[in-house]
Structure 1
Amino acid sequence: QYPGVADSIESDIDNIATLLRISGLIPSGIDLQPLLDDAKHQLKDETNYRKEARHQQTFAAALAGDARYLVPEIHADLGKKNVLAMSYVEGQAIETLGHLAQVTRNQIMAALFELMLRELFELRSMQTDPNFANYLYNADTQQIVLLDFGATRNFKAGFSAQYKKLVKAALDGDETGICNAAAKLGYAVGEQNTAYRALVTELFRTVLEPLKQQQSFDFANTDLPARLGKLGEHARAFRDFWQAPPADAVYLHRKVGGMFLLATRLQAQVNLRQLVSEWLD
C-alpha cells in the first residue's frame, strides 16, 4: 500500500464535499453527511488489508464448488495491515476478450451477472468495485479470476429482500409495488398521482428493462443508456424532491453499472430474465 493513502481519506472526502456544494451541482437542502461518513468508513476499510484478506477467504470458500471462478489463495503469514500477499494467478485482462467467440463472451458475462445476483440475494456480501482490473480470464482453465475484495460490502437481509420485491414488481408491471419497495429502500418516490412519482416509476421500469426480456439482452445493440440519460435530464425539474440516496444502493448501483459497461465492451448477449428468475421463485 502506498504510504499515506489511509491517512488522507478524511480530508479527501471533505474536499470533494466542499467542491460539490460550491459547484451548485447538489441542491442545498440535501444532507450528504451520512453518505460522506459512510464513504469515509468504506474507504478506510479498503485500506485495511487484513480485513480484505478475510473477505477474500470468505468468497473463496463460498465459490469453492463452482469451477467458473477462481479466487487467489491468501498467504496470511506474509500479510500485514498494509501488505496483502496471495498466490500468483495468470489471466488476460477481462476487457480485452472481444476477440473470443460470441458464445464464450456470453458465458463469461452470464457468470459475472449470476455472481452479482448471488452476492445480493444469497451471500448478502458484494465486492462493489467493478473496475475491469479486478477481473482476469484464464483461457486455459476457462475460469474468471476474481481480485481485490477491499470494497466488499455486507447488506442487511431487509435490503436484499426489498430489492427482490422491487425487481419482481418491475417484472410483473406492478407500479404500486415498484414505488412501495423503492420507498422502503429509502428512495424519494413522491406522492401518488404526481409527475415526480410517474418519473421515478419510469426510471425503475427502464433500468430493469433488460430483466424483462424473455430472450437474451444484446448489450451491443441497445439505446437504454441514452433513454436513461433523457430521463435523468427530466429529473432536473424536480430538484426540490432530491435527497441523498441510500448508501447501500449507491454501492449496488456502482456494481450494476460496471457490469453493464463490461457487457457492452464485450458485446455480450445474456438472458438476464432467466438468471434473475431463479431468485424470484
Structure 2
Amino acid sequence: MNHISTSTGRAVPSTRLHRLWHLGLATSDLASGVGMRGLIELARARGDEPSRIRLNPRATRRFTDRLARMRGAAMKVGQLMSMDGSDVFTPEAAEIMATLRDRAEPMPMSQLVRVLDAELGRDWNHRFKRFEFTPIAAASIGQVHRAETHDGQGVALKIQFPGVRDSIDSDLDNLAAISRTLGFVPRGMDIGPLLDEARRQLHQEADYSAEAASLEAFGRLIGDDPDFAVPRVHTELSTSRVLAMSFADGVPVDRLADPHYTRADRDRVATLLSRLALRELFEFGLMQTDPDFGNFLYDPASGRIALLDFGAVQRISPELVDHYRRIGRAGLADDIEGLRDGAVALAYIGHEDSPEQVAPLLELIRLSGEILRHDGPYDFGASTLFERVLLRGRDLYYENAFRRLPDPATLFLHRKFVGILMLCRRLRARVDLRGLMSEFLD
C-alpha cells in the first residue's frame, strides 16, 4: 500500500436545498462573468460572424469551481458546455471551461475509506498488493484510483461519490427550474419527456453493475480489433458503486492536437472513432453515448485506442436505426423530400407543420449535412460549419422556430454524434464521412 495522500477534499453537497444553493451561486457566477451587456450582445448578434461569449476569468473560475465541488448531474451539464467551447466562448474562457472535463474535487480521505469499507468490506486493503490513494482522475460521478492485485495485475478502480446517485433527481429539477426562469427553454415546449430520459440515463450511469455488464458487452462486440481495446472487468472487486477493470495506458485523444503528433495520427484516430460511432448505430444497435474526450485513450506505442466509461450505454431500436438510415441516405443524396420524411420520423418536425415552419428547420438540417455531401476527406480544420450551424440555430431559437420536442430516445445519441464531430474539429482532422456513411447504408 502506498502512503496516504495528505491532500484534502470537500464532501459532496447532498441535500436538494444545499445543492440548489450551490447551483444558484454557480449560475450567478456565470451571469456575472458574462455581464448584462454580454448577454444582450449575444441575444442580438446576427450576420455572418458568430458572437462568442466573453467571460470574466475570475467569475468563470468561480463557476467551474462550484460545479467541480457539486459533482453529479450539475457538473455533467457543465462538462457538456465545455466540450468545444471555442465555438461559443472566447479562447480564454473556453480554456477555463475545459478544466471541468477532468477536475472534479476528490473525496476527503475519510469519505473514500468509508465508501470502500461499505462496498468491499473493512478488510478491502488486503485485496491489493498496492493501492494509490491519490486519484488519477475525478469526474462528475466518481473518481479513479490505480491499484495492483497480488498476482501483479494493474487495476483501475472507479469509486462513486457518496450521495451523487441520490442527487440526480434534485439536480435535474433545479436545472429545469433555473432554465425556465432564465428563458433558456423555448416558449410552449414541454421538456418533461427530455428530462425523464436524462433522468433515466443518469441513474443508469450511476449503477456500476449495469456499467460492468455494458463493458463486457462491448468487449464481446469489439473482440480482438487491432485498433481498439476494451478493459476487462474484475468482478470480484466490483459492486454497484465500485467498478474495477484492467488498467489502460494512453493519453486522451484530444491531446493529439499537440504539435508533436502527426497529421496522419489525427486523421487516423478521428476516422476510427467516427467509423466506430456508425458501427454502434447501424451494426451493434448499442451505443456508448458519452463522447467526453477522456473516455478515449490513445496509446502511441501500439496505436490502439482504449475505450473507457460505459455508464452511458443505450440500446437503439431497429425502428430508430431505420429512421437514421433514411435521413442518412437523404443527406448523402441531398434529397430535400427525403430529409423531410426522416425529420418527421425523428419528430424534428410534424406532419401538420406548415411549409413556413418546416422550411427553416430543413435548411438547418441540410446545412448540418454538408459533411455528407463532400466527396473525399472533409477538412474539419478548414471548415466553418460549426460556426454557421451555431449562428443559424441561435437565430431560429430567438425566432421561436423550435416548437417541437424531438424523440427523447435521440437525446443522448445526438450527444455522441456531436461529440465525435467536435473531436474531428478539435484535431483539425480530415475524415471521409461520406465514404464511411455509404459503407453502412449501401
State TM-score, norm by structure 1: 0.95
- Greater than 6 Å deviation, 4+ residue runs: none
- Which residue pairs with 2:256 in the alignment? 97
- Which residue pairs with 1:276 in the alignment? 437
1:217 and 1:189 mapped to 2: Cα distance?
32
Where 1:168 maps in the other structure, the secondary structure is: helix
Q: CA deviation at 1:237?
A: 5.3
- Which residue pairs with 1:3 in the alignment? 162
Is 1:154 aligned to residue 315 of structure 2? Answer: yes
Equivalent runs, 1:59-74 vs 2, <5 Å: 59-74=218-233
- Which residue pairs with 2:298 in the alignment? 137
Residue from 359, 380, 387 that aligns with 1:219: 380
- Which residue pairs with 1:172 in the alignment? 333
Q: Name structure 2 gaps, 5 residues minimum.
A: 1-159
Equivalent runs, 1:113-124 vs 2, <5 Å: 113-124=274-285
1:106-149 per-residue CA deviation (whole Å, 9 max, x = no partner) reads: 11111100000001111111111111111100111110010000
Residue from 352, 367, 389 that aligns with 1:228: 389
Q: What letter is aligned with 1:75?
A: H
1:46-90 per-residue CA deviation (whole Å, 9 max, x = no partner) reads: 010010011011101100132100011111111000000001111
Q: What letter is aligned with 2:381?
A: A
Aligned-residue identity in percent: 38
Equivalent runs, 1:45-84 vs 2, <5 Å: 45-84=204-243
Q: What letter is aligned with 2:181?
A: I
Q: What letter is aligned with 2:267?
A: N
- Which residue pairs with 1:182 in the alignment? 343
1:244 and 1:49 mapped to 2: Cα distance?
30
Q: What letter is aligned with 1:35?
A: L
1:280 and 1:225 mapped to 2: Cα distance?
25
Where 2:314 maps in the other structure, the secondary structure is: strand
Alignment RMSD: 1.6
1:20 and 1:190 mapped to 2: Cα distance?
29
Q: Name structure 1 gaps, 5 residues minimum.
A: none
2:294 and 2:274 mapped to 1: Cα distance?
17
Where 2:406 maps in the other structure, the secondary structure is: coil
The range that moved more, 254-263 or 52-61, is: 254-263
2:403 and 2:223 mapped to 1: Cα distance?
43
Q: CA deviation at 1:226?
A: 1.6
Residue from 408, 413, 433 that aligns with 1:247: 408
Q: CA deviation at 1:25?
A: 2.0
Is 1:39 aligned to residue 202 of structure 2? Answer: no
Q: CA deviation at 1:189?
A: 5.0
Higher relative contact order (CA 8 A, sep 6+): 1
Asked if the contact 2:186–2:402 (Cα under 8 Å) also holds between the matched residues in 1, the reply is no
Q: What letter is aligned with 2:242?
A: V
Q: What letter is aligned with 1:158?
A: E
Q: CA deviation at 1:192?
A: 7.0
1:192 and 1:5 mapped to 2: Cα distance?
41
Q: What letter is aligned with 1:89?
A: A
Q: CA deviation at 1:95?
A: 1.1
* Greater Cα radius of gyration, structure 1 or 2: 2
The change in CA–CA distance for 1:189 and 1:16 in structure 2 (over 3 A counts) is same
Where 1:214 maps in the other structure, the secondary structure is: coil
Is 1:200 aligned to residue 361 of structure 2? Answer: yes
Aligned residues: 281
Asked if the contact 2:347–2:405 (Cα under 8 Å) also holds between the matched residues in 1, the reply is no
2:358 and 2:436 mapped to 1: Cα distance?
29
Where 1:86 maps in the other structure, the secondary structure is: strand
